Structure 1
Amino acid sequence: VASKTLKTLRGGLSQETAPTICTLLLPETSAAAISITDIEYVLGFEGDIATSHMPGSKVVGPATEVLESGRMETFVSVDSRQQVLQRRGGFGNGGSSFGIIVPLIVQDRTVGTIKLYYRRGIEIDRTQLAIAEGLGELLSTQLSSYELDRQAELTARAEVKALQAQINPHFLFNTLNTIASLTRTNPNKARDLLREFSVFYRRTLESSQGALIPLSQELTQTRRYLTIEKARFGEERIQESEHVDEGCEDIQVPSFLIQPIVENAVRHAMKDEGALHIDIHVTRDDDDILISVADDGLGMDEETVSRLLNGQGPTPQDSSGRNRGTGIAIKNVAERVERFYAVGSGMEIMSKPGQGTCVTLKLAGAALQATA
């Protein structure tokens, strides 16, 4: 039953999920009926008992007291409408039905209740109380898991939006200036570049939800970025190559995984003369996926690498006279890799001044998604 309820509760507690949960839980008890509420309304009901506390009705009576106290209670139904708290030993024979109300607690907050209905008070024994308490703990744990996943997703979305805010301004203005210049010298190329940029920008905005995307989509977006930068700096100034192991194109990765690393190379590794070579490799390593982005540019010393990984503020200018930037984008990528994949995931940067840089991402367990 735990696996079935977990699958249902991936969408949280709602009018859509609660009825299914009631149907799954009722056979696990000796109760005649079961209902689930949030803090305001009855969300689901299953069973055969006379009560007005049906889906859509407001939470009233003993359930409100359980919501306030966060404690399990028993009750007796005076009639189909009125329920009152009653200790189990004082049930007697009066009442149209009897029951147990269990709080659902998520992160120290009571978010709802489970209510079990019995035809006779004598049926509510220690076993039924233990079962009711266990079901409450089960759903509370699963709802807590859902809430943590939801918060992680919201955090990821916020991080992607922050990354967009960093990437877009300088790139937007540089690209528009390039297109404006090309309209005078090469109108056809300007038109093609504008089309490419519009697709790139649209995909960037669509990625703001922080969802996982196929690796092939991230690579395509990275190629669009390089096409635009080549128009700005010249085709001969940026040379890229790719190698992707078979079956890896379909693995799911966070958006903005590779493109910020490539952009960092274009912005900071390009020498005053000659081409910047950027090589992207995606390989399988047992159950893991390794993604490396290597360049033969200016390189960095150990202090700059450390600051880049820590996302610290602007570093002193290097020997080329350029400011290395904040490193927020790189740190953002590293943190999302660690969040989305198994223990052992992360980023490694190897670099030497004058010899280039290699950034490697380890996606632990990601190869299990790849096709053979």
Structure 2
Amino acid sequence: MESLFKKLPIRYLYFGSFAVFALCLFTVIFWISYHYSVKAIVKTASGYQEKMLVELNGRLKEKLDFIESISLAVSRNPDVINLLGNQNEAYEQHALTERVSSALLGLTFSSPMIDSIHVYMNMPPAPVPPVAYLPLQELDKEAWYPLLEKNDFLWVGEHLIDSPNGKKSVVSFARKLTSLSGDFAGVVLIHMKATTLQAVLGDHHLLSQRLLVDSTGHKIVQIGNPSIVLTDDEYKKMLGSAPPLTAQEITSVEKLVFSSSTALVVSSKMAGSGWVVAEITPWELLAEDSLFMLKVLGMIGLLSIIAVMLISVYLNRQFTKPIYLLLRSMNQYPDMNKGQLPPDYRNEFGQLFLGYNRLLTRIEELYQSLEEQYKRKKETEVKALQAMMNPHFLYNTLDQLNWMAIKDGNTRMSVVLEMTGAMLRIGLSDGEALITVEQELDFVKNYMQIQQIRLGEKKINYQINVSEELLPLFIPKMTLQPFAENSIKHGFHGREHGNLDIQVSATETKLVITITDDGKGLHNTKQIGKKTAGGYGIGNVRARLNEFFDSDYSIELSALEHEGTRVTIQIPKLETKL
């Protein structure tokens, strides 16, 4: 799959990368802020709730202990025990009933938290509200009685009872009563006003829920938000995670706090009873401040993202503008001049523009150079065509002069003109720089014969010795003639006659040409190479050999023992043209 960094334009990549990075960064910041703010709120709230629940625990325990102590006093009252036995005479039984009712009424009216007292017994007397005597068989109709059968006493959670003023909500405490013989004889049930415990727990308008749960997990009383309901497992977890608190343990959050699926639960267990006071706070309530803060952060983040995007767009344009200016210049070349790129950049973009302008300058120079070369090529072609016409004109002219000389009977001039034409043909040789050894020697022969006619055959003699197999080899043209001319002009000057000998031989890799004359000779031996000067003709030969063979050639001039000069030329053995 092709990388987006290779496919999309730079401005899209820059802006998109910046946007994604900013979005991810702010998302992480929001999540961390929300997470740790909620965590801090939970810790603060749970710590406060724990201290408050410990205080409520003490106040609730006082009231519950008071009700239990009253029930204990009733169960140990001798009149109550005798009344339950039903073995007294009618008058005595009536008197016991009066005393017991009076005592129970006194207990009821002595404490505002007690609503009424019910006594379950055999052959119950008439009720004296708020004290009621109920048949023992009625216990089977009570939902709480099976639990009491297994215990001596029992707290019954909040429920409704009938009263002269209608239904009332109470929390009841039941205790078994025994006869003198120790047999089960009845039950005393003290109804405590539910509002008493609810007042201790707090305000009814709480958004959270506070409740009192007994050691078996049954809810005794609650206030606050009734829509918050815990499962049985959560009740058990609450009971199991709330050991009795001491003053030093009040700050031990980990032992008292756990999270349900919908709420935070903080609980405190009553010492010696296993009862638990708990407060259940919905997560929505705890997170309300955090959500508000998150909304504020969201608005700030949104404004920040917009600001970052605007800055990103500005920076994107500033960074990519030079690149697109350069691309536009490249696409519009050669219509767009190099001066149209902004000259005020001093950074890397300025260096890029400067390099591009230099490149354009170089390209223009190359174009001009190509145009000049094209013009020179055209001029060369014209000159070549003219040069092709000039030899033709010279050949015709020489031929006409030759016929004129024959017509006038000037045989010598005719021969000279004929040899000059032959030399001209060899010298031009269709523009080739290399000719065969045979053609080079024919060129020298024609030159020497012209000189014999000019100076006289007896004055100049020449000999050429060469093997047949060497004649097809190639040699730069007009290599030997300058040396022959040099011998005639300088070596034979002022002398009656002169001899010139040309020897051509070869080694495995070299063609060796020796030119010997018996002229005036040289006073010193000279070695002519790449950097050795000489006469114009010899210098021209040296220059051409240097172009052909670089350093792979030599020209040696040496004086003979008595008189004369020897020139030895060595060049690479060429069987084909270069």
TM over 0.5: no
Between Structure 1 and Structure 2, the one with more helix by share is 2
Higher relative contact order (CA 8 A, sep 6+): 1
- TM-score, normalization by structure 1: 0.43
Q: Which has the larger radius of gyration?
A: 2
TM-score normalised per structure 2? 0.29
